[in-house]
Amino acid sequence: MRIGIVGCGGRMGRMVLQTLLATEGVRVSGGAERPGHSAIGTDLGSLVGAAPIGVALSGDAEALFAGSDAVIDFTTPELTAANAQLAARLGVALVCGTTGLAAGQREALAAAAAVVPVVYAANMSVGVNLLIGLTRQVAATLAADYDIEIVEMHHRHKTDAPSGTALALGVAAADGRRVSLDDVAVRSRDGRIGARPEGAIGFATLRGGDVVGEHTVIFAGEGERIELTHKASSRAVFAQGAVRAAQWTAGRAAGFYGMTDVLGLR
């Protein structure tokens, strides 16, 4: 199976590349970055400190898609929307882990999913997807007088907040309670804000250092508190999930899938 990577020069892109190079049964079809990126022309093996593979980092995303069976996308919301259009036009499966997507960018993924398999997840680790499932289950079990708070921490370079994973956890909690997250989310607090509304799902965002990703869902009741936590110590878990998802798309019908589908958690 030929798998390519857009955003190959970034932290996650390089980790995905390392994982692909170590995975049997796949071939790295190429890697692409924005035109003008300083690493364009570098052999992809050399880019991650491995032996050269005879394929250089390119600035041509369309050529990458044309030569791939599946493409993994860890870029920016704007580029993800453009890549979704490329995937649909060229008939290539797309695996996307880009976070911070606006409604229109999600719609671009959904439109591509009408033509090709699209796997989208804010977090591709097995552990986080189990956490999402547990959050939904606990929220459905506990009464609304258990307050739900979602706390996340990431490295200082992360540009979106709350994280995509935190929002996915919020959606799972809201689904468990059969409400819309948009109706109950509290994403910031400052000053004299009054008492906490019953049924609210709160978010707290922390940024600093080199933290890969930590998420805790707190269910706080009278006299007890339940906390569900996932801590990632390496980006390798996300890269492994992305490669697994790309392999999973082989022979798959067009559709909009998540990691719960890939992992068989539904």
Under DSSP, the state recorded for 224 is E
CA 183, CA 172: separation in Å to the nearest integer? Answer: 14
Does the annotation flag 129 for ligand binding?
no
CB count in 10 Å sphere of residue 6? 31
The response to whether 123 counts as a known ligand-binding position is yes
Binding residue per annotation — 195? no
113 is in an annotated binding site: no
Q: Are strands 213-221 and 70-73 parallel, antiparallel or unpaired?
A: unpaired
Provide the 3-class DSSP secondary structure of residue 82: helix
In the set 154, 157, 215, 230, the catalytic residue is 154
Q: Is 37 annotated as a binding residue?
A: no
Can you name the residues that pair with 206 across neighbouring β-strands? 153
Q: Is there a binding annotation on residue 164?
A: yes
Q: Is residue 10 classed exposed, middle or buried when 0-12, 13-18 and 19+ CB atoms within 10 A define those classes?
A: middle
Place of tokens 């390798």: 236
* CA dihedral of 29, 33, 34, 36, whole degrees rounded to 10: -100
96 annotated to bind ligand: no
Q: 8 CB contacts (<8 Å, ≥6 apart)?
A: 14, 16, 17, 31, 32, 33, 44, 47, 57
4 is in an annotated binding site: no
In angstroms, rounded to a whole number, what is the distance separating the alpha carbons of residues 40 and 43?
9
33 is in an annotated binding site: yes
At 96, list the tokens: 């996307």
β-strand partners of 153: 206, 214
Tell me whether residue 36 is annotated as binding: no
Task: Please indicate whether residue 154 is annotated as part of the active site.
Answer: yes
Q: Is 75 annotated as a binding residue?
A: no
Q: Which of 157, 158, 215, 231 is catalytic?
A: 158
Tell me if 98 is assigned to a ligand binding site: yes
Whether residue 249 is annotated as binding a ligand: the answer is no
| Binding site listing | 7-12, 33-34, 97-99, 121-124, 155, 164-165
| Binding site listing for NADP(+) | 34
| Binding site listing for (S)-2,3,4,5-tetrahydrodipicolinate | 155, 164-165
| Binding site listing for NAD(+) | 7-12, 33, 97-99, 121-124
| Active site residues per annotation | 154, 158
